[in-house]
Amino acid sequence: KLLYYNCLKFICVAKNIQIKVSKEFKFNNLQVILNPIENTKINQSLDDNIDLDFEFIVAAGRLHESNVKQMDVIIELYAKSILPLKNIKLVILGSGDLIQKLQNLAQNLNVQDFVIFKGHVSNPFPYFKQAKFLIMASKFEGFPMVIVESLYCNLPVVSWDFKSGPNEIIETGINGILVENKNEIKLIEAMNKMVTDFDFYNECKLGARKSVEKFDIEEIGAIWMKLFEKLQNKGA
């Protein structure tokens, strides 16, 4: 609070973060500017070969002991869904010291042949392009760019409404399904709906990229330039 109280502008990457900072520190010089999508980088990487010849959903994130991404929860709820019965696999992108525990969990749930651990991948975008949807069940996030990047790759998203980010990006029926936070039954139902209600799924897939147009780097860059010009005009 002492360091930033008199700063010219305090930038937040999400509305929920702005609310939290305002409430806890009483700042009045706050502004939300979203993180941009690196459109060119994604477009150049989308068609790389990933050599997967089966249907799958995808989850992505670091697999560390803090377990912020709660991949164990995702595996457990995936195992209870109808996806294994439909031979739709779960591909997990990410590395960390939890991998062995997660592999053991998949084996204990008898879905070891359906949960595929790819480890760290430098280019996740072909996975996003080929998957059916992204699944998220994090404890919390700052602002999960993986959701935005997935949607840009025309990949719908199913996520709990954790803080912060998902409810600022996901619109149920438009680009995926936003589920009540920590509601396991509803998350299973959402996964099932995405693979059984074809009209609903297709609407979400069609609306995915359009829903994140506001994250275009040109749009975000223009907001930053406008801010700089405003501060400069004030003699900052």
102: domain CATH number? 3.40.50.2000
Distances (CA, A) of 83 to 14, 30, 69, 89: 33, 44, 20, 7
Confidence band for 235, pLDDT divided at 50, 70 and 90 = low
* Residues 20 and 77 grouped into a single domain: no
| End-to-end Cα distance, the chain | 21
Same domain, 96 and 176: yes
pLDDT for 51 equals 87
Dihedral, CA of residue 221, residue 223, residue 224 and residue 227, to nearest 10? 160
Do 44 and 140 have their domain in common?
A: yes
Residue 14 sits in the same domain as residue 79: no
Task: Take residue 141 and report the two structure tokens written for it.
Answer: 């996030």
Of 226, 231, 235, 234, the C-alpha closest to 33 is 226
- What percent of the chain has pLDDT above 90? 85
Average pLDDT over residues 109-130: 97
The predicted structure's pLDDT at residue 142: 87
Are 168 and 198 in a shared domain?
A: yes
Q: Is residue 21 part of a domain?
A: yes
Kindly state whether residues 68 and 169 are assigned to the same domain.
yes
pLDDT given for residue 87 in this prediction: 98
Do 5 and 98 share a domain, yes or no?
no
pLDDT (0 to 100) of residue 7: 86
**How far apart are alpha carbons 191 and 135 in whole angstroms?**
8
Question: Hey, is 125 helix, strand or coil?
Answer: helix
pLDDT tens per residue across span 212-225: 999 999 999 999 99
Please indicate, yes or no, if residue 229 is contained in any of the structural domains: no
Tell me: do 208 and 98 sit in the same domain.
yes
Q: Say whether both 14 and 82 belong to one domain.
A: no
Domain assignment present for 233: no
Planar angle of CA 130, 13, 66, nearest 5 degrees? 70
Question: Tokens representing 199?
Answer: 């009209």
Q: Kindly list the distances between the CA atom of residue 94 and the CA atoms of 121, 139, 210, in Å, as whole numbers in the listed order.
A: 7, 17, 27
Could you tell me the residue range of the domain that residue 91 belongs to? 39-214
Same domain assignment for residues 87 and 147: yes
Residues 6+ apart with CB under 8 A from 19: none
Residues 88 and 107 in one domain: yes
Residue 236 pLDDT exceeds 60: no
Please tell me whether residues 103 and 165 are part of one structural domain: yes
Residue 162 pLDDT greater than 80, yes or no: yes
Task: Give a yes or no: residue 22 inside a domain.
Answer: yes
Q: Is residue 231 part of a domain?
A: no
Give the number of domains in the chain. 2
Q: What is the mean pLDDT of residues 25-39?
A: 91
**Bridge-based pairing state of the strands 10-12 and 56-60:** unpaired
